[in-house]
Amino acid sequence: MAERHTCDILVLGGGSAAFEAAIAAKTAGADKVVMLEKAPEPEFGGNARFSHTGFRFVHSGAAEIRSFVPQIDEATFSRMHIPPYTRDDFLADLNRVTQGRIDPGLAAAFVDHSNAAVHWMKDIGVPWEPEKTIKVGDKLYFEPGINIHPIGGGLGMLLRLREIALKHGVEIRYDSRVRALHGNERHLEGVRVSAPHGEYDFYARSIICCAGGFQASPEMRARYLGENSDLVRVRGSRHNTGEVLRMMIDLGARTAGHWRGAHMTPIDSAAPPFETPAMEGGRGNSMNRYDYTWGITVNTLGQRFYDEGEAKHSYTYAKTGRAVLAQPGGAAFQLYDDTGINLFRHGRDYPATVVEASSIAELATKIGIEPAVLVQSVEEFNAACRKDIPMDPRSLDGKCTVGVTPKKSNWAEPLVKPPFRAYPVTTGVTFTFGGLAIDANAQVLNTSFQPIRGLYASGDVVGLFFHNYPSCTGQTRNAVFSYLAGRNAAALRN
Ligand SMILES: Cc1cc2nc3c(=O)[nH]c(=O)nc-3n(C[C@H](O)[C@H](O)[C@H](O)COP(=O)(O)OP(=O)(O)OC[C@H]3O[C@@H](n4cnc5c(N)ncnc54)[C@H](O)[C@@H]3O)c2cc1C
């Protein structure tokens, strides 16, 4: 018979959602809180290890953001343009990109708690720094609503959260894979753990599931995400293979979110099969290719296939990977001239696989596209760019194309100034949108729409998004629902 362990609150997973839930539970008075992390210690932390972890949340503008970044000198801070990001802004963004499908109750709970949840992270001891900015003249502009991220990016945040959790007495067990559940669709009592020394059972008063999405399982991707999705690269942790989600569904948990949908982005074609490297100092992921708004993208036949300027990249990047996947070979090239290259968010010398040439025909030859076809595509695009509207990278400038398909809706600047560059891209999956159904208290529901007693969930394992995703929403969602899950789990008395 397997050994029997018990605790007050058991947290399944070892990513940011799990740490936040464990800290929230412990600081709300829970007695023994244990985290079960499948990954060995050197690989702990799930997806955030590979990210700079920007946070989108409702705030009242510069004065409030100032309290997060006291280390910035006054002269620099005064150059930062930080308008408020309101409840209506956030809800409108969520509703627009999910095509009105996001659950309205959950969306409201998420948005309404977003400010308090990010302040809570600051108050427990997570330090912050400003996001990337676009410099225009003397002013520094941000993407609306995305102003700060933790110092040191995702890894910095995870190390800090771990320190805080340990300080509060949370126990972390690495290399501890949840491989079965004990309970039914009314009450989850415990789990079976596979650990290096053998298996044991772990029972708890409440269980908080933060075991991530299923994006690192090619088998589950093929089953749910559509043609060729098993072939995409995985941007984050190799450990997110969806088995806990599957067990929860077998137990009788209700599902939610877009089961054919996933956050898929254009990434460097040289990306490894999983775990694309983050840049040092929390500056983002070295394989991201999000500057497509400043140029055009063509498939391997030399044809454009989507509106590169539909909106700011933060509202389109999470669906653009899906558009690339639909192209022959799941491959494409982002093309820029010198003007576009100079608008790159990380500067023109951003590390990347790149091909450079002094003419479009030469570039075509270098990347294996028929030169006559690529030259024609670029000339058609150039001729279609409206010349009567000035280019403004700060906002949706309306400088669109006319008479070319697909249209480019903003920032349509002709590619005329050498050198020309091609960045080969493919599709990277970040996380999956289908997951567990929760209520606004972060309790997991069963297929009778009743809460499963003792079971809460937060993070990518929750089904929330459809079609697309506004950037920097995942981490805030983690903070909101992990805080609620931790507090409510601690308050639950059997
Ligand atoms: C490259 C990249 C960039 C990103 N950038 C941002 C950003 O800037 N802003 C933002 O908001 N979001 C960003 N995201 C998304 C965000 O990181 C994720 O949504 C978030 O990390 C999910 O947190 P989580 O804790 O739910 O899941 P994860 O961090 O994936 O953690 C899941 C945990 O569960 C564990 N686990 C899995 N199976 C088991 C099992 N059987 N037993 C025990 N444990 C198990 C895993 O080992 C892991 O520790 C990015 C993601 C990536 C990959």
- The whole-number average pLDDT for the span 57-70 is 98
336 and 289 together in one domain: yes
pLDDT > 90 fraction of the chain, expressed in percent and rounded: 92
- The whole-number average pLDDT for the span 45-55 is 96
Nearest CA to 395 among 413, 410, 414? 410
59 and 173 together in one domain: yes
116-126 per-position pLDDT tens digit: 999 999 999 99
The rounded distance, in Å, linking the Cα atoms of 115 and 33 is 26
- CA-nearest residue for atom 3, ligand 1, is 51
The answer to whether residue 483 scores a pLDDT higher than 90 is yes
440 and 423 together in one domain: no
278-323 per-position pLDDT tens digit: 887 767 788 999 999 999 999 999 999 999 999 999 999 999 999 9
- The whole-number average pLDDT for the span 3-21 is 97
Residue 457 Cβ inside 6 Å of ligand 1? The answer reads no
Label residues 395-419 b or e (16+ Cβ within 10 Å = b): eebebbbeebeebbbbbbbbbeeee
Q: Tell me what pLDDT residue 360 has.
A: 98
- For the chain, the domain total comes to 2
The answer to whether residue 361 scores a pLDDT higher than 90 is yes
The answer to whether residue 196 scores a pLDDT higher than 70 is yes
Instruction: Name the helix (H) or strand (E) containing 148.
Output: strand 146-150
46 and 141 together in one domain: yes
Domain limits at 211?
Answer: 3-261+433-491
- What is the CA angle 235-239-243, rounded to 5? 120
The domain that contains 335 carries what CATH number? 3.90.700.10
- The whole-number average pLDDT for the span 213-239 is 97
The answer to whether residue 144 scores a pLDDT higher than 90 is no
Please name the residues in contact with 405: beta carbons below 8 A apart, sequence gap of 6 or more: none
256 and 269 together in one domain: no
Atom of ligand 1 nearest to the CA of 244: 41
The token pair at 68 is 């997060």
269 and 251 together in one domain: no
Please name the residues in contact with 348: beta carbons below 8 A apart, sequence gap of 6 or more: 341, 342
The answer to whether residue 450 scores a pLDDT higher than 90 is yes
The domain that contains 103 carries what CATH number? 3.50.50.60
Whole-number Å distance, alpha carbon 48 to ligand 1 midpoint, is: 6
Q: Last residue of some domain: 428, 457, 482? A: 428
Label residues 224-235 b or e (16+ Cβ within 10 Å = b): bbeeebeebbbb
Nearest CA to 217 among 236, 191, 198? 236
55 and 108 together in one domain: yes
129-143 per-position pLDDT tens digit: 999 888 888 999 998
Helix intervals (H) in 79-152: 87-97, 104-124
Q: Tell me what pLDDT residue 494 has.
A: 56
- CA-nearest residue for atom 19, ligand 1, is 474
Q: Last residue of some domain: 428, 463, 482? A: 428
The token pair at 396 is 């949706």
Q: Tell me what pLDDT residue 284 has.
A: 76
Residue 215 Cβ inside 6 Å of ligand 1? The answer reads no
Provide the greatest CA pair distance for the chain.
78
Whole-number Å distance, alpha carbon 295 to ligand 1 midpoint, is: 31
471 and 384 together in one domain: no
In testing the pocket of ligand 1, which one of 37, 41, 51, 175 has its CB within 8 Å of the most ligand atoms?
A: 51
Q: Tell me what the pLDDT averaged over the chain comes to.
A: 96
| Separation in Å, CA 7 to CA 190, 207, 275, 442 | 10, 10, 33, 20
The rounded distance, in Å, linking the Cα atoms of 251 and 299 is 44
The answer to whether residue 171 scores a pLDDT higher than 60 is yes
Strand ranges, E, within 352-469: 355-357, 420-432, 435-436, 443-445, 451-457
Q: Tell me what pLDDT residue 1 has.
A: 78
Residues 273 and 233: beta-carbon distance below 8 Å: yes
Residue 473 Cβ inside 6 Å of ligand 1? The answer reads yes
pLDDT > 70 fraction of the chain, expressed in percent and rounded: 99
102 and 183 together in one domain: yes
424 and 444 together in one domain: no
Q: Last residue of some domain: 384, 404, 428? A: 428
DSSP state of 315: G
- The whole-number average pLDDT for the span 324-337 is 97
State phi, psi for 59 to the nearest 5 degrees. -150, 170
- The whole-number average pLDDT for the span 43-64 is 97
Q: Tell me what pLDDT residue 333 has.
A: 98
384 and 309 together in one domain: yes
Split at pLDDT 50, 70, 90, the class of 351 is confident
DSSP state of 383: H
Whole-number Å distance, alpha carbon 142 to ligand 1 midpoint, is: 25
Residue 474 Cβ inside 6 Å of ligand 1? The answer reads yes
- The whole-number average pLDDT for the span 49-75 is 97
Helix intervals (H) in 253-327: 317-325
The answer to whether residue 106 scores a pLDDT higher than 70 is yes
The answer to whether residue 372 scores a pLDDT higher than 80 is yes
Label residues 339-378 b or e (16+ Cβ within 10 Å = b): ebbebbbbeeebebeebebeebeebbeebebebeebbebb
The answer to whether residue 359 scores a pLDDT higher than 70 is yes
446 and 421 together in one domain: no
Whole-number Å distance, alpha carbon 212 to ligand 1 midpoint, is: 6
Pairing state of beta strands 146-150 and 128-130? antiparallel
Whole-number Å distance, alpha carbon 16 to ligand 1 midpoint, is: 7
Predicted structure pTM score: 0.96
